[in-house]
Amino acid sequence: MQFLLDLPVGRRLALGLASIISIFLAMLAVVYLAQSRSIEAENWNAHTYKVLASEDRYLEPWNAGLSTLNQAWGGAKRLTADNREQQARLNEMKARHLEFRGW
């Protein structure tokens, strides 16, 4: 620590500025790497979707699940018709499902 105190003010300021710049560059590198990984993951996600959506046989389980979900949701709505709180929860569930699907 004494070494830093023995340096002239100009050199201490330059050293401080160099430290700040070094930290900034390190943070910039970390952000860049994270961003490139995110972009790569997004590209793979889009590629997978294109592959799966290109053939209907890959989507059969998804479509069957949607049909089952809609039937079960309709049944739950009928069974809870007398309970406003449960109806609100079912509506919230349906809204989140539609948001998940991007509708």
Query: What pTM was computed for the model?
Result: 0.45
**Long-range contacts made by residues 17-23, C-beta under 8 angstroms, separation at least 24?**
none
User: How many separate domains does the chain show?
Assistant: 2
pLDDT for res 103: 63
CA torsion 84-89-91-97 (nearest 10°) is: -170
Band (96; pLDDT cuts 50, 70, 90) = very high
Task: Note whether 1 and 43 are same-domain residues.
Answer: yes
The verdict on 43 and 6 lying in the same domain is yes
Note down the domain range covering 36: 1-54
Percent above pLDDT 90 for the chain: 65
Alpha helices in 1-103 (DSSP H): 2-6, 9-53, 56-79, 84-101
Residues 64 and 41 in one domain: no
Neighbouring residues of 58: CB distance < 8 A, sequence distance ≥ 6: 51, 52
Residue 51 vs residue 68, higher pLDDT:
68
pLDDT for residue 86 is more than 70: yes
Percent of the chain residues past pLDDT 70, beyond the cut? 99
- The whole-angstrom separation of Cα 72 and Cα 68 is 6
Same domain, yes or no, for 40 and 89? no
pLDDT at 11 > cutoff 70: yes
Are 1 and 23 in the same domain?
yes
CA distance 40 to 67: 33
Mark whether 48 and 2 lie in a shared domain.
Answer: yes
* One domain for residues 23 and 66: no
Domain shared by 39 and 74, yes or no: no
Average pLDDT, the chain: 90
Instruction: State whether 14 and 33 are in the same domain.
Output: yes
User: Once rounded to an integer, what is the mean pLDDT over residues 33-61?
Assistant: 87
For residue 92, give the nearest of 63, 76, 79 by alpha carbon. Answer: 76
